[in-house]
Structure 1
Amino acid sequence: MNVVENLDKVTNHLLTLLDGPLPSEDNRDSFLEEIDKVLQVRDSLLQRLAPPFSETEMALGKKVALASQQVTPKLESFHKQLKQEWAQIQQSKKTAKAYGQAYSSPTADGMYYDKRN
């Protein structure tokens, strides 16, 4: 197989991975590792891509270019979902910490809590 055919195969595999929803937290690490591996392979194929191209390679290249336009928004969507989940985790940690240390800071209404109970 030449580089363009490999690139088409890898791009289609990447689109297949990205078409589904973001997996649960248990399977997420392996899913993200798989996407990273496919992106690295795809990047190496893109770097090896060099003219001249035959007619079939040109047609396949156009197909790959169209598929590549679909990859970026899907990756951005996954990135946005992961970023939102990370923000929620950080907020819940902050809330839990504030709840656990409720009496350590001064109160807003000026009341005093006696810690010697």
Structure 2
Amino acid sequence: MNFVESLDKVTTHLLTLLDGPLPAEESRDAFLEEIDKVLQIRDSLLQQLAPPFSEAEMVLGQKVAVASQQVTPKLEIFHKQLKQEWAQIQQSKKTAKAYGQAYSSPTADGMYYDKRN
């Protein structure tokens, strides 16, 4: 199997991974590791490509190019989803911390709460 056929199979596998929704938190790490592994394989195949190409490889290469244009937006969507979830987690941590330490910071109206009572 030549590099273009391998690249086509890897790109197709990557698209099938990205077509589904982002998995639940329990299986998300394995999913992200799989995507990272496929992206690394795909990158190494892209670096190994070198002309001259046959007619069949040219046709397959055009198919891979079209599929590659679909990969980037899907990866960006997953990145946005993960970024939003991370921001929500950080905000909930901040809120929980502020709720737990309600009287540790100065109040807005200048009142002082005595902690000895």
TM-score between the two structures when normalised by the length of structure 2:
0.97
1:53-77 deviation digits (Å, cap 9, x = unpaired):
0000000000000000000000000
TM-superposed deviation, 1:113: 1.6
Supply the distance in 2 between the matched residues of 1:45 and 1:106 (Cα, whole angstroms).
59
Which residue of structure 2 aligns with residue 57 of structure 1? 57
Q: Which runs of 5+ in 1 are unaligned?
A: none
Alignment of 1:1-117 (within 5 A): 1-117=1-117
Q: Which runs of 5+ in 2 are unaligned?
A: none
Instruction: Give the alignment's Cα RMSD to 1 decimal.
Output: 0.7
Amino acid at match of 1:2: N
Amino acid at match of 2:59: A
TM-superposed deviation, 1:106: 1.2
Supply the distance in 2 between the matched residues of 1:74 and 1:20 (Cα, whole angstroms).
10
Amino acid at match of 1:110: G
Supply the distance in 1 between the matched residues of 2:106 and 2:44 (Cα, whole angstroms).
58
Stretches of 4+ aligned residues off by more than 2 angstroms: none
Percent identity (aligned): 88
TM-score between the two structures when normalised by the length of structure 1:
0.97
